[in-house]
């Protein structure tokens, strides 16, 4: 009987800890912005575009799934947001843009990193690139 009670308490404690450590919507927005900056840099170089920045609005998180990547707690976060690109003479808005980000809590529990997967081949696990979220 004691063993069952202890297991239930450990389960509840683990669930509460995971919820406390879950990423905030502000952190998710920063991660999306970092991901967009990486993509924007590549587009600017390849297409010679003059993006003057972007704005993220109406972030909606639909799913936060905890998992482990490289032995650290990671969340796969999915949802939608509205994106507005600022161009020299106009703005371009994309409503309800879906997103998926992987946010990893570092070992000391103070910082988060954005993980971007890169598939080398179809039959292998992805290689993860890690970026500190400021």
Q: Which helix (H) or strand (E) holds 18?
A: helix 2-21
68 CA to centre of own chain:
14
Query: One digit per residue, pLDDT tens: the chain, 134 residues?
Result: 654 545 454 455 544 444 457 899 999 999 999 999 888 777 676 766 667 788 999 999 999 999 999 999 999 999 999 999 887 888 889 999 999 999 999 988 899 999 999 877 777 888 999 999 98
Residues 6+ apart with CB under 8 A from 85: 51, 53, 54, 91, 92, 93, 94
Burial of 38-70, coded b for 16+ CB within 10 Å and e otherwise, reads eebeeeeeeeeeebeebebeeeebeebeeeebe
What is residue 15's predicted lDDT score, i.e. its pLDDT?
Answer: 47
pLDDT of residue 26: 96
Q: What is the DSSP letter of 51?
A: -
> CB–CB of 77/28 below 8 Å?
yes
Strand order in the sheet with 54-69: 54-69, 72-86, 91-105, 112-118, 127-132
pLDDT of residue 103: 97
pTM given for the model: 0.77
């Amino acid at each position: 009987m004691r063993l069952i009670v202890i297991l239930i308490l450990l389960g509840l404690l683990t669930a509460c800890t995971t919820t406390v450590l879950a990423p905030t919507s502000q952190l998710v927005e920063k991660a999306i912005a970092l991901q967009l900056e990486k993509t924007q840099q590549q587009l600017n170089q390849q297409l010679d575009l003059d993006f003057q920045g972007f704005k993220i609005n109406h972030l909606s998180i639909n799913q936060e799934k905890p998992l482990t990547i490289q032995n650290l707690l990671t969340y796969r976060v999915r949802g939608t947001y509205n994106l507005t690109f600022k161009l020299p003479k106009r703005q371009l808005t994309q409503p309800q843009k879906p997103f998926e980000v992987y946010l990893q809590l570092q070992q000391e529990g103070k910082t988060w990193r954005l993980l971007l997967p890169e598939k080398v081949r179809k039959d292998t696990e992805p290689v993860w690139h890690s970026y500190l979220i400021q």
